[in-house]
Amino acid sequence: MRVFAAAGVLFGLAIVAACGEDRPPVSDFSGPGPGPNPGTVDTIDASTDPACTVVPPDGGSLDSGVAPCGCFEFPFLGDVPNIYFVLDRSGSMAVDSKWTTVRSVVSNMIGRIGVRASFGAASFPNAKSDNTCGAGVEQMSLRRGDNPPKLDGPVAKQFLSLVPTLPGGATPTAATLRALTPKLTAFTGTTYVVLATDGGPNCNSLAECASDQCIPNIENDPAQCLPNGTFNCCLPKNGGDVNSCLDSDGLVKAVQALKTKGILTYVLGMPGSVAYSSLLNEVATEGGTARKNSTTKYYRVDGTGSGALESALAAIAAQITGSCTLRLSTPPVDATLLNVYLDDVVLPADENEGWALVDKTTIEVRGAACKRIES
């Protein structure tokens, strides 16, 4: 019997196969292979494919009680995650074309991940509101990614067509997450928020703050707004606006509320957000996605080009879609005849550096191969 399947791993493909009396070598597979894109699922017709010739191993008839050779697709994508992008399109995102870069990179990532996830997107502030502090709204409703994955597939194109092309306005991050919470919690399956921002959250009309929590002071803009200065640029008597106070508490509480509902929040800190590193670290920690073994708990993007953002977003996507556990819908007839492939390379049946069948329907990839999937 031969069994083929595509695994939900980022930029990788795992295939499980079995046939013959011994573990078959890679060259023993003469049927359809992995598609041209990572994650492609090839449907194999056991009645017509030469690799799936139905011949009982004892040469007898099919009703001899011996399992015939056949081909089956093992669906490894049982719990397809929801990846929901919440994107800062405030006025500062116009600097160095950051907003253009974000739109392009997110679209490409949606194309690369494809059917391995469902995607939705919102941006803030509300592009259709005259209020620069208007809470962001959904632009792309949740939908399954393209199969096969494709950079310019329909869903990737839909993202570009639905998300605003121009940045502008303030940064109502907390208000946006609160507004989206009922929608996010209504989704079926596991949902992750990917929050990308280049500055501190503001737009809390009830806020009061000292100069060290006033965004114009933090960013020294304009010149009289000195960091920790005695002139508080958020005070109305100084010509300021309380909406410019850093809404730290509101943002932290918003991600905490999502986490209590089982929704984790990943944080992408775009160029310009370094002054808010401490807050973004706290948001990542309270959102349940703090990076391990790193002083920077969120995903910091230092370059203004697409490469740095692509690397950070790929690392997040790997955490969400990359799994070393492969659950089979049907137990193999003979587990001793199983092979596991990663990117067309056979992995050894080794409990430490390869793979192991831990029960009748669960395969665990271990060692260096697992680290490769997760990274």
pLDDT of residue 105: 98
From CA 89, how far away is CA 73, in angstroms rounded? 42
Task: Name the strand (E) or helix (H) holding 173.
Answer: helix 173-185
Instruction: Examine the pLDDT at 10 and tell me if it is beyond 80.
Output: no
Whether the CB-CB separation of 185 and 263 falls below 8 Å is answered with: yes
pLDDT of 78 reads 52
Instruction: Report the distance separating Cα 302 and Cα 209, nearest Å.
Output: 29
Q: Residue 5 corresponds to which tokens in the numbers above?
A: 């399947």
Provide the token pair at 288.
Answer: 């349940």
Give the three-class secondary structure for 16. strand
Q: What is the mean pLDDT of residues 336-361?
A: 85
Instruction: Judge contact between 192 and 120, C-beta under 8 A.
Output: no
DSSP assigned state of 327: E
Q: How far apart are CA 162 and CA 219, in angstroms?
A: 32
Do the Cβ atoms of 87 and 167 come closer than 8 Å?
no
Q: Which residue type sits at 276?
A: Y
Quick: pLDDT tens for 217-233: 999 998 899 998 999 99
Check residue 149 and give its pLDDT.
86
Mention every residue, 6+ apart, whose C-beta is less than 8 A from residue 34. Answer: 6, 13, 15, 40, 42, 344
Whether the per-residue pLDDT at 272 is higher than 80: the answer is yes
Note whether 231 and 267 are within 8 A (CB): no
Confidence of residue 37 (pLDDT cuts 50, 70, 90): very low
Q: Which residue would you say has higher pLDDT here, 266 or 293?
A: 266
Provide the percentage of residues in the chain whose pLDDT is more than 70.
78
Where residue 309 falls among pLDDT bands split at 50, 70, 90? Answer: very high
Question: Residue 304's pLDDT band (boundaries 50, 70, 90)?
Answer: confident
pTM metric for this prediction = 0.76
Query: Residue 42: its pLDDT value, please?
Result: 34
Both structure tokens of 132: 């620069």
Mind spelling out the 3-state secondary structure of 281-309? HHHHHHCCCCCCCCCCCCEECCCCCHHHH
User: 31-40, 105-114, 262-271: which has the minimum mean pLDDT?
Assistant: 31-40
The verdict on whether omega for the bond into residue 222 sits within 30 degrees of 0, i.e. cis, is: yes
Confidence of residue 204 (pLDDT cuts 50, 70, 90): very high
In this prediction, residues 170-189 reach a mean pLDDT of: 97
Instruction: Please report the pLDDT score of residue 343 as a whole number.
Output: 66
Give the pLDDT score at 65: 39
Give the mean pLDDT of the chain. Answer: 82
Q: Are 84 and 184 in contact (CB under 8 A)?
A: yes
Picking from 316, 318, 325, the residue whose alpha carbon sits closest to that of residue 77 is 325
Euclidean distance between CA atoms 243 and 374, whole angstroms = 41
Q: Roughly how many angstroms between the first and final C-alpha of the chain, as a whole number?
A: 33
3-state secondary structure of 348: coil
Please check the confidence at residue 323 and state whether its pLDDT lies above 60. yes
Closest CA to 89 of 121, 112, 120: 121
Look at residue 239 and tell me whether its pLDDT is greater than 50. yes
- C-alpha–C-alpha distance, residues 301 and 99, integer Å: 13
Predicted pLDDT of residue 337: 80
Question: Where does the pLDDT of residue 331 fall: very low under 50, low under 70, confident under 90, or very high at 90 and above?
Answer: confident
Q: What is the number of residues in the chain?
A: 375
**DSSP string of 143-168?**
EEPPSS--TT-HHHHHHHHHS-SS--
Tell me how far apart the alpha carbons of residues 363 and 350 are, in angstroms, rounded to a whole number: 11
pLDDT tens digit sequence for 38-93:
333 333 333 344 443 333 334 444 343 334 334 444 444 457 899 999 999 999 99
Mean pLDDT of all residues in 129-137: 94
- Here the tokens at position 364 are 């665990």
